A and B are shown apart, each in its own frame.
Chain A
């Protein structure tokens, strides 16, 4: 069997407030292979962002370990680029400069100025944002901001791309467009991707595997669903696909039963 690329090994995380401490995640175990697209789904507040931030290195683990290519993750870095839940573009920089900042930082020693410019433009074109390169984040729409956020993450050539509800705040049409772009980019570049989402269709459409977290506190991996649909996937063709329907059903059932469980426990 091939060695795991990214290994999340019995990771726990608790937050202390005063004398009380709540355990948000308990014994989360997950291995992800190179080039795999994994979605994490779970109820709001169960600790999805917390898990992603730990993989990014923005939050330390309370116990357990996260290994990327057998090296422990303990600090953030451009090899694990994040597309944040709320895009997080720097509002005082133009679209171009937001991406360029990342390019300059990551490739300062390996590429010259012209190459860095070309690479910035290449990534902006990849998300079809080249035409708005001189605008500020306040002057573009939510979907455009999200695309720039994706370009900024992609330009770092990360080993793992971390997406925290990347399409959460978008309308259905824009969302579908962006999903298609992400699928195309994933197909072309073969990135390893971890994506958090609330949207069952989105998870099934994009992922190779769907990881379902149980409800917090002490959330852990409840179930993992393999999505064996062939790529490239076309959303319209999939609607009638039996495998797609079954995968969708599986995720919905999981989510619904957990909600039910919480209701009766409360």
Chain B
């Protein structure tokens, strides 16, 4: 109220037109001034990683560019796997496709597996967070299961589904679901008593309480879980595809290893790392968007 009042008071004072000369000069300076922080932000965020990257490439080059080196140097990678880097989306028949296509195939699997894990994980987490006994009983079990590596789930999942594609999705699902469940449950347990009291006075039913109170209040925790989950899911895809075959990026690495194409593997590693980075950023940004209100309180 007081802010608007002050603004109203100030407005007429700002209104009188400044002299023409000043007015012409004003926009120019303001654009520069407005541009400066962005330029600075860009420089701060981009220059250090670029320098570090160049330095690392140099060290790598020095270490591997000598007779008897077991790993390919950057120059060798570039010479032998240039096409993979420059043309991610070529398509020469069913098995010979660019890394971009392979990443997309893997991404589809990850999104199905992770999407299922997100839905099931949030629902189970809500149930567990609501009940002290469920929390006490299930939490230790989850903490143990959470440490089982993706590759260990694969034989069980292959035995159960008898097909590689659902097995791979199941492995992603089971790897990424634990942090989602655990974080959601903690978020539900941390819903302030005040919000529960508000819901009680309004007599919200179970569904309204879930949608209007639980999910928004636990959203910061849920997104922390989702962010850890998507990272794990992307880790699992490589492991899963190495054994199940197909056109995914994981199988590509396995295939390259079997035909001793080390430079291809190096390029694929960069793809995987980069995509994982982007996935993490996307989930993080979604989280920021969704929890603006809650986080600010």
Contact = CB atoms under 8 A, between A and B. Distances in A.
Interface of A: 56-58, 75-78, 80-82, 84, 86, 88, 90-93, 101-102, 105-106, 128, 131-132, 136-139, 141, 144, 156
A56 B216 contact: no
Among A86, A102, A131, A138, residue most surrounded by chain B Cβ atoms (within 10 Å) = A138
B202 A105 contact: yes
B202 A78 contact: yes
Nearest to B290: A92
A134 to B, nearest CB: 12
A266 B1 CA distance: 48
B211 to A, nearest CB: 11
Given A81-B201, A138-B297, 12 more contacts: A58-B197, A76-B197, A76-B200, A88-B195, A90-B198, A90-B212, A90-B213, A90-B217, A131-B4, A132-B1, A137-B297, A138-B293
A78 B4 CA distance: 34
B203 interface: yes
Interface of B: 1-2, 4, 194-195, 197-198, 200-204, 208, 212-213, 216-217, 219, 293-294, 296-297
12 contacts: A58-B197, A58-B200, A78-B201, A82-B197, A84-B197, A88-B195, A92-B216, A92-B219, A102-B202, A105-B202, A105-B208, A136-B296
Contact of A91 (B202, B208, B296): B296
A248 B203 CA distance: 39
Given A91-B297, A138-B296, A58 B213 contact: no
Contacts of A76: 197, 200-201, 203
B9 to A, nearest CB: 16
Q: Is the interface of B mostly helix, strand, loop or mixed?
A: helix
Contacts of B203: 76-78, 105
A144 B297 CA distance: 14
B200 A91 contact: no
Contacts of A101: 202, 212
Contacts of A156: 202
Count chain B CB atoms within 10 A of each CB in A77, A84, A105, A139 and give the residue with the most: A105
B200 A136 contact: no
The A interface is mostly helix, strand or loop, or mixed, namely loop
Chain B CB within 10 Å, residue with most, of A58, A78, A92: A92
Nearest to A87: B194
A131 B4 CA distance: 10
A136 B217 CA distance: 15
Residue among A58, A139, A144 with most chain B CB within 10 A: A58
B201 A80 contact: yes
B293 A82 contact: no
Contact of B201 (A56, A91, A136, A139): A56
A78 B293 CA distance: 26
Contacts of B2: 141
A2 B203 CA distance: 31
B296 A77 contact: no
A77 B194 CA distance: 15
A51 to B, nearest CB: 15
Given A105-B204, A131-B4, A86 B194 contact: yes
A58 B195 CA distance: 12
A90 B197 contact: no
| Highest count of chain B CB atoms <10 Å: which of A56, A80, A90, A137 | A90
B293 A92 contact: yes
Contact of B197 (A88, A106, A131): A88
Given A84-B194, A131-B4, A92 B201 contact: no
A58 B201 contact: yes
Most buried by A among B198, B294, B297: B198
B205 to A, nearest CB: 9
A14 to B, nearest CB: 19
Contacts of B1: 128, 131-132, 141, 144
A75 B202 CA distance: 11
B49 to A, nearest CB: 34
A82 B216 contact: no
Contacts of B296: 91, 136, 138-139
Contacts of A91: 293-294, 296-297
Nearest to A80: B201
Contacts of B198: 84, 88, 90
Contacts of A137: 297
B198 to A, nearest CB: 5
Contacts of A92: 216-217, 219, 293-294
Contacts of A106: 202
Contacts of A57: 200
